[in-house]
Amino acid sequence: MIETQTMETAHGRGARSSGRPVVLVVEDEAALATMLRYNLEKQGYHVEEAVDGQEALTRIAEAPPDLVLLDWMLPTVSGLEVCRQIRRRPGTRDLPVIIVTARAEDQDAVRGLNTGADDYITKPFNIEALLARVRALLRRASAMPAKGKLAFHDITMDLAAHRVWRGERALHLGPTEFRLLEFLMQHPRRVFSREELLDAVWGKDIHVEPRTVDVHIRRLRKSINGEDELDLVRTVRAAGYALDTEAA
Ligand code: CA
């Protein structure tokens, strides 16, 4: 039994038909797609299908589902690329994606997860196991407020709860570092000068030395970068700072 209330997700387009969560099955093997549709519908989901990567991207752009079951090996555009594009578009950045890979190599799963998939399952799979993952992911997505959450690389910010994580690790930031990180996470990879950061984080009317920014950036770095972790704050000489995976 599906409890519609708890199954509604941040994407909320589940209301497409009677409020049931919409699962987009992207699968070029007709028999497998039919089997998935049958089982998902039995669980109360509304199922849509795409037979190749291009069709999947078009459908997602037109009306994002609540979850995507994404085959890895697809005609036209690969599952990997579909996943990449989903993550790149602001409107679908948080869309739950489960990669379905036919290849047993762990490497594919790892690549899938690196591309931003939330989970993966290897063919041939047990349908109950797959349904359990779909359920878990939808529950997780619906627990997250659509607004008030920011994510970049492995950093997640919950603005409402005022909490920050790097991966599984909770971070403890001072109030200024929190606001600084929030601002940078709203504009990832963009370089801001010290003056721009002062205006945005401290406010236009407050007179603070630009050097103050350096101090807080240093603190922020210390808080978010653990040992052996990628430095996510990029210093651009004479230009300023950015949140970036290529910090050099
Ligand atoms: Ca396939």
Structural domains in the chain, CATH included, are 2-142 (3.40.50.2300), 149-243 (1.10.10.10)
Distance 27 CA to ligand 1 centre (A): 6
How far apart (Å, rounded) are the C-alpha atoms in residues 50 and 57?
9
Residues forming beta bridges with residue 152, ordered by sequence position: 155
Q: Which helix (H) or strand (E) holds 152?
A: strand 149-152
Question: At residue 67, does pLDDT exceed 90?
Answer: yes
Distance 103 CA to ligand 1 centre (A): 10
Instruction: Output the pLDDT for position 130.
Output: 95
Distance 31 CA to ligand 1 centre (A): 11
Distance 72 CA to ligand 1 centre (A): 6
Q: Which of 43-57, 68-82, 143-157, 198-212 has the lowest mean pLDDT?
A: 143-157
Determine contact, residues 244/202, Cβ cutoff 8 Å. Answer: no
Instruction: Output the pLDDT for position 9.
Output: 42
Distance 65 CA to ligand 1 centre (A): 20
Distance 125 CA to ligand 1 centre (A): 14
Q: Which of 60-69, 163-172, 184-193, 200-209 has the lowest mean pLDDT?
A: 200-209
Task: Scan for tokens 């869309």, then name that residue.
Answer: 95
- In 95-106, which positions are buried (b, 16+ CB within 10 angstroms) versus exposed (e)? bbbbbbbeeeee
How far apart (Å, rounded) are the C-alpha atoms in residues 41 and 229?
43
Region 221-238 average pLDDT: 90
143 Cβ contact partners less than 8 Å away, ≥ 6 residues apart? none
Closest CA to 154 of 143, 136, 167: 167
Distance 190 CA to ligand 1 centre (A): 37
Instruction: Output the pLDDT for position 17.
Output: 46
Instruction: Output the pLDDT for position 8.
Output: 39
Instruction: Output the pLDDT for position 141.
Output: 77
- Radius of gyration from C-alpha coordinates of the chain: 21
How sure is the predictor about 161, in pLDDT bands with cuts at 50, 70 and 90? confident
Distance 12 CA to ligand 1 centre (A): 28
Closest CA to 54 of 32, 71, 75, 80: 75
Q: Which of 50-64, 95-109, 214-228 has the lowest mean pLDDT?
A: 95-109
Q: Which two tokens stand for residue 240?
A: 């300023």
Question: At residue 7, does pLDDT exceed 50?
Answer: no
Helix (H, G, I), strand (E, B) or coil at 63: coil
Distance 35 CA to ligand 1 centre (A): 14
Distance 30 CA to ligand 1 centre (A): 10
Question: At residue 199, does pLDDT exceed 60?
Answer: yes
Averaged confidence pLDDT in the chain:
84
Residues forming beta bridges with residue 47, ordered by sequence position: 23
This prediction has a pTM of 0.55
Distance 204 CA to ligand 1 centre (A): 54
Region 183-212 average pLDDT: 86
Distance 61 CA to ligand 1 centre (A): 21
- CB count within 10 Å of CB 200 equals 17
Distance 50 CA to ligand 1 centre (A): 11
Ligand 1 ion: Cβ-proximal residues, 5 Å cutoff: 28, 71, 73
Helix (H, G, I), strand (E, B) or coil at 50: strand
Determine contact, residues 23/69, Cβ cutoff 8 Å. Answer: yes
